[in-house]
Structure 1
Amino acid sequence: MNIPDLPPFWAVIPAAGVGSRMRADRPKQYLSLAGKSILEHTLDCFLDHPRLKGVVVSLAADDPYWPELACARDPRIHRAPGGRERADSVFNALQTLGELGAEPTDWVLVHDAARPNLARSDLDNLLMTLAHDPVGGLLAVPARDTLKRADADGRVSQTVDRSVIWQAYTPQMFHLEPLRRALADAQDAGATITDESSAMEWAGLSPRLIEGRGDNLKVTRPEDLQWLAQRWAQR
């Protein structure tokens, strides 16, 4: 793949969450994995990319862990205030990008802080495929298992056609100003926004699905961290 053909991009990492399901003594993005915090591994997925323009990390105001990381002093990384919800943190990061001189049409890749196993091949494929797309899109994986819809009593009410179902991953790649505007309008309307794609969908746009690797795992539970540690130990 010819790197100069890939578009330059900014990365946004919302990292203000607490990750309560990990049942740990600190937010999950600061748990240790192979000698570094999960967040450091996540940042490493982008920091050595030659087309990166910079990174904005959204952090809680009282975050005591970030200043302890060596990457906190990296001049390519900028800090934005975290919000109550993911959408708030991403919106704040986009505002910060504007203050840093980013153009409205610049590509922004939003990636989960606790998704440290992003493959360079997936990142480059996302950039290459969406370079000239009018909307943008996201990494995703087609559903592989049989899916059931539950009723209020926890019983199966329907088997869902999995051929049209995809599991949304990150990064999610959109132009700065359309994403900022979609998030702002959705928040003003009180819409439920769970990821950047859902904001663009709410604005009436159809993001493109780019199939990625299934091991682009988001660390949510203790067993996820254990799985990654074992997998990386085999490298």
Structure 2
Amino acid sequence: MIIAGIDEAGRGPLIGPMVLACIVMDNELIKYLDKVGVRDSKILSKNRRKRLFNIVTRLATSIYIVKIGVREIDLAVNRINIDGLNELEAKKVSEIILKLPESVREIYIDSPDKDSMKFKRRIRKYIGDRDIKIICEINADKKYRIVSAASIIAKVIRDDIIDEYKKKYGEIGSGYPSDNRTINFIKNWLKDHEDFPPIVRKSWKTLEKFLH
């Protein structure tokens, strides 16, 4: 049986896109993911993720990537607050599902919403009568290796984007609001510019303190 798994990287940071990755794979190969050490990307080192990235790409039947830019994220959040981001993510996940071949009969999804059934209903709303079993759960990236694999692909791609930003802008930290390097980057930028850097999500409430 052919199955798929979807996860994202970069939902919480101030900086850069959110990256969605979908892995399509023969269910018989999932045991190899476990054997080579595929786990939730958040508990793996950067070098380990890179090595597993190469293994996953070889094992996968196909991989789908969607990058959601900072302006699109801002529009969604400003329109309906953070729930707007859940709606946007559900829409993007649905677009991926509709591109999958009919041979994919099950898809495992890491829910960004504490109410995973609500997130699943959002997806169903967009995919119409597409015949596919959806397993949508919180912490699916820890429970299902196919989702762990997707989390690794998404994380490595986003890390590469952040590395490119660093080449252009210098030290920007991890991009998370809790990172002093990221906060200092924004502070220093605002000393010389009238607006936030173009790679920053202006809808994040953390930025309000810079406006006073």
Q: TM-score range by the shorter chain?
A: 0.3 to 0.5
Q: Report 1 or 2 for greater relative contact order, CA contacts < 8 Å, sequence distance ≥ 6.
A: 2
Of Structure 1 and Structure 2, the greater strand share is in: 1
Using structure 1 for the length normalisation, give the TM-score: 0.30
Q: TM-score, normalised by structure 2?
A: 0.32
